[in-house]
Structure 1
């Protein structure tokens, strides 16, 4: 249930002793937001964020994330929220009060390719994914290995299919990806959960803070890139991913980008299930329509399929002309002495490389077809595509 900003400020006084609000600023909320937010200033000039969970699950996640936030403070190179106090209303709404962190939030669609900010985002995500997973487990948050995470995805897809709102073409597409064993051979790690632009605060050109840790877990690193890959320009996303790969302590797995595409598409399934759970028939209708549009968009798309093994076309060779017949009487016999002297030099013929090539060029040509395919640039039409969940939906959700 939505409350007025003044009501949220009043609830904050129950969460934090001696909380003395002097001004409050509300924020707009969409029908499917998970939290309602207000900004409060107290008599000593301190600015606070008051967050109220709009569902029982959202409130529980907010409470549970508090333990992880305390552990993350010294483990990441940016600020994270600190919950100063929590209160629960008579109707079960959980309200948390946090000091407001400095910095301006981002809009993914405005992220520039090659920018310092994009690289900073990549490094920040690498720092999150390098956090020891035991910190997440210690905080009591979900932890999955790759097989368990895939099973969870399949279970969600099965529930969505039972609603009758998921087009059969998408079901086949996603089931094929979820059943591809090679795609799910990776090491899970600490993740934030789908990272939205509103979660990232920037001071200057560097990430100063990341908020919104309610869906943190040990799971697939692709999860954190899902929203970014949809809303940002492809070149900007590539900048983030390049910086991320360079900053990770571990080597990223070769199928990460394909799972990012899959995670981005499966966000629509999560959105549908949230709408079904809310009982909002109009929202369910919108989510179902978005899935139908997605099916049309990806009808001929093969970005979730495994890359085809490299095949090198052999050059066409003209058939050699038959050798002319040789008369034995025309063959000249040459007599020569043995080259037994130590100071004589024997020249060994060396096969010459074509002009303009280097030894490295020749060596590179001996690799396997798979190795050569890995070095080829992907065609432009394989860039990740953006699939808006709803027409007219804002850039980032709370």
Structure 2
């Protein structure tokens, strides 16, 4: 029997690794349904689904290693980031999956609610909240929806050398703003944005909106802070969400 590794665990879901098999246990069966569908439809490398017996989804390990982790420099090569950009562009140009785009009004309401909580609890300085709230507003614009991963964290993209071997964790796949995917992948790794876009913006395609990406860095960090704190994560760790908010204080005013 292989040793069981707890990859992530909180009150909503847990992921365990047993050898080359990952067991995902989720309180909401809809997440597994979206994940399976997303992996079936996405024209990019994804892990094979081994079996699904609610509330457990078993998927196979993908080869290679993650592009990096939040809070540490990415060890991946520039070529690996270029490859990630090309693969993500392929995803964003695919036919839309089932589902609806999250309305801008709903995003703005969530942003206002989380900013109010941050101001009330004073877990970060008020000036930081106000400045990032103003920057985040630039993400709340009309945009043509694309097939997005929806939670494209740096730990969810696996590479071997300069090749993407797999993208994992598709439970939030849906039509949405493609710049959010690019922002989440480079959150805390802003120095790798140009490497990523060197692959994403090739072949004369419409270039990525850098202003929107920077706005999503603020929006994502502001709206994720409370959930992270309440589920035992540390957005105040070096290189993580609160550092992302601090870095925006040096950006030009929107």
Per the shorter chain, which TM-score range? 0.7 to 0.9
C-alpha deviation, 1:49, in angstroms? 1.9
C-alpha deviation, 1:233, in angstroms? 5.7
Q: Which has the higher strand share?
A: 2
1:126-165 C-alpha deviation (Å, 9 max, x unpaired): 11111111xx11xxx3424xxx2x3232111122134223
Using the alignment, how far apart are the partners of 2:229 and 2:190 within structure 1? 31
Using the alignment, how far apart are the partners of 2:190 and 2:212 within structure 1? 18
| TM-score (ref. length: structure 2) | 0.78
What's the counterpart of residue 209 of structure 1?
Answer: 166
Q: Which runs of 5+ in 1 are unaligned?
A: 1-21, 41-46, 89-93, 306-398
What's the counterpart of residue 206 of structure 2?
Answer: 251
Q: 1:257 to 1:33 in 2, by over 3 A?
A: farther
Root-mean-square deviation (Å): 3.4
Residue pair 2:217, 2:244 contacting (<8 A) in 1 also: no
What's the counterpart of residue 11 of structure 1?
Answer: none
User: Secondary structure of 2:53's partner?
Assistant: strand
What's the counterpart of residue 189 of structure 1?
Answer: 146
Q: How does 1:1-398 map to 2 (within 5 A)?
A: 22-29=1-8, 34-40=13-19, 47-53=20-26, 56-57=27-28, 60-72=30-42, 75-76=43-44, 78=45, 80-88=46-54, 94-107=55-68, 109-111=73-75, 115-133=78-96, 136-137=97-98, 141-144=99-102, 148=103, 150-163=104-117, 164-165=120-121, 167-177=125-135, 179=137, 184-232=141-189, 234=191, 236-246=192-202, 250-252=205-207, 256-275=209-228, 278=231, 297-302=247-252, 305=254
Using the alignment, how far apart are the partners of 2:106 and 2:15 within structure 1? 28
C-alpha deviation, 1:188, in angstroms? 2.2
Q: Which runs of 5+ in 2 are unaligned?
A: none
C-alpha deviation, 1:195, in angstroms? 1.9
More relative contact order, 1 or 2 (CA 8 Å, 6+ apart) = 2
Count, aligned residues: 245
| TM-score (ref. length: structure 1) | 0.53
